[in-house]
Structure 1
Amino acid sequence: MSFELICEIEPPTKPDLTHVRHQIGTMSKIAHSFLIPDNHIGRATVSSVAVAHEVQAMGGRGIACLNSRDRNLLGFRRDLLTAQAYGVDQFLFVYGDKPTSGNRTSDLTVRSMIEEAREFSPGARLGAAAGMRPLPSFKRAADFLFLQVGFSVVAQVRWREANPVDVPVYAGVMVLASERHARMLASTIPDIDLPETLIEQVAADRMAGVEAACAQVLALRESGAFAGVHLVPVSRYRDVESRLAAAFIK
């Protein structure tokens, strides 16, 4: 069975796709597809649909993330229509991080986005994010699932065994770029279990986060429990690519 590596791209906060293109060019040697976040951590970014189109123009496969936080029904239909025009047909629907300013738009939920997209964009592949808790029944109607970022292979495999589904499930793996980054994650992401020993290792060695994430990817592949991983390399994508190249080179 194939094991897919889905790499998350750092989305641009300015109208310049140079950095995006560099990430795609570097990671395309090992990545099977790319996930493009939507208004990452509550900041405005270039449309995930537009960046997914850029991925495809460079010969890759793009998955556009759309959150329910920032759009009403009309805005969601606009995004689906734009995606059809661009030939983007894979989506990940999420609730969305807390905005840095302003309020949430309450018209949509992940459930209603899945239901609406089934009617508005027949044939599209629709994914949903799953937390480290029992899987809601409506998410079982998705075409694939992205399990929340975690740092324990044992916990991720245990969740997979407790939540059997017949669709591909991708385990979340994130590179810890620094001690500050690690502590920010621990304080802002619900249900995350970030070992203090790993934080201390990252504080002592800037490459420890890269090494730990790469080891986790390989251990998840060895487990056979998942269809692949959703890898978040943050700014360390060059280091990640060089270490995983031997295992995932296409």
Structure 2
Amino acid sequence: MFKLKEKLEAGEFVITSEIAPPKGPDLGEFIEKAKLVQDRVVAINVTDNQRAIMRLSSLVASAALEREGIESIYQLACRDRNRLALQSDLLGAHAFGIRNVLPLTGDAVAQGDQKDAKPVFEMTSVKLMALVQKLNQGLSYNDHPLNGKTEFFVGGAVDPKNIGAKAFFQKMEEKMKYGAEFFQSQPVYDLDLVEKFFRYAEEHRVKSLIGVLLVKGPKQAAFLNSHVPGIRIPDEIIHRFNGASEPLQVGIDFAARQIRELRPLSHGIHIMTVGREDLVPEILNRAGL
């Protein structure tokens, strides 16, 4: 069932999406949201306490998707776990049929809803990729043999807005060294940067999925610009919202236009609708996909 790896390796244009687990034990609505998009995307990212806001375990939510026949991309943040917990969770994920994993360092606790929580950060995303690489070789972090090898397909997060910095390429190369085979980006609005990133990915034989964010109105745009690191909504879309009788339609049209522009400059897109998964089919329809 591992379509993401298969389609990327076959050179197909791939669409992924993203859903946050619920703030509570009931997975019903989460599963229903995933079913709204499952026929239009190859896999769904399951976020791991994104923005340091507590939600149900990304491991459990990813396993729930796999149980429904929906391919997941399991996000795993270093912020909340030491190496023992990271290894245990990864082995558990593999046992539940999860094969796609996106290691992340994790957002700072100070950004979240429980600011007095103690962060761990024993590892970085790159070190976590190295750990996954060892598990794929049948070894634990300290090189003790396991009773089998994992078969994780490893992705990396990237922000092409930083492509001009030397550290950008150094970190990319580190992630590729430790097994990253595809990259999902933050939303990017500069096509020149996207093209540079695409050329770099092509040269290094890794796959690039560019982030497309549905911005639903001016209030959300202002919030994202003020509170979400790595995201900067351009003035163009904010101006379009001003005076619009239906700002949501403006946001849908803008996302669809982005997808059309990005298609020749990427191996796929990663579409984020922040709670409006029901709009993913409409956005893709308007984009001609």
Match of 2:254 among 208, 212, 221: 212
State the Cα RMSD in Å.
1.9
Structure-2 separation of matches of 1:151 and 1:11: 27
| 1:84 lines up with 2:94 in the alignment | yes
Q: How does 1:59-78 map onto structure 2 within 5 Å?
A: 59-78=69-88
Deviation track 1:210-230 (CA, whole Å, cap 9, x = no partner) reads 221122122211x2x321111
Tell me, yes or no, if the aligned pair for 1:176 and 1:202 is still in contact at 8 Å.
Answer: no
Q: Which amino acid aligns with 1:93?
A: P
| 1:153 lines up with 2:191 in the alignment | yes
Which of 1 and 2 has greater Rg? 2
Tell me, yes or no, if the aligned pair for 1:173 and 1:231 is still in contact at 8 Å.
Answer: yes
| Residue 162 of structure 1, CA deviation | 4.7
Q: Which amino acid aligns with 1:91?
A: V
| 1:143 lines up with 2:178 in the alignment | no
Deviation track 1:39-82 (CA, whole Å, cap 9, x = no partner) reads 12111111212211222222221110011111111110121121
Structure-1 separation of matches of 2:230 and 2:195: 16
Give the total of aligned pairs: 246
Name which structure has the greater RCO, CA cutoff 8 Å, separation 6+.
1
TM-score normalised over the length of structure 1 = 0.90
Q: How does 1:187-198 map onto structure 2 within 5 Å?
A: 187-198=226-237
| Residue 91 of structure 1, CA deviation | 0.4
Tell me, yes or no, if the aligned pair for 2:186 and 2:230 is still in contact at 8 Å.
Answer: no
- 1:114 aligns to what? 129
| 1:49 lines up with 2:79 in the alignment | no
Greater than 3 Å deviation, 4+ residue runs = 188-193, 245-248
Match of 1:175 among 203, 210, 214: 214
Distance of aligned partners of 1:23 and 1:62 in 2 relative to their CA distance in 1, 3 Å threshold: same
Structure-2 separation of matches of 1:191 and 1:43: 17
- 2:35 aligns to what? 25
| Residue 16 of structure 1, CA deviation | 1.1
| Residue 86 of structure 1, CA deviation | 0.5
Structure-1 separation of matches of 2:229 and 2:43: 27
TM-score normalised over the length of structure 2 = 0.79
Deviation track 1:127-157 (CA, whole Å, cap 9, x = no partner) reads 1111222232211231211122223334322
Q: Which amino acid aligns with 2:252?
A: V
- 1:38 aligns to what? 48
Structure-2 separation of matches of 1:143 and 1:213: 26
Tell me, yes or no, if the aligned pair for 1:177 and 1:235 is still in contact at 8 Å.
Answer: no
Give unpaired runs (5+ residues) of structure 2.
Answer: 1-10, 137-149, 163-167
Structure 2 SS opposite 1:12: coil
Identity of aligned residues (%): 24
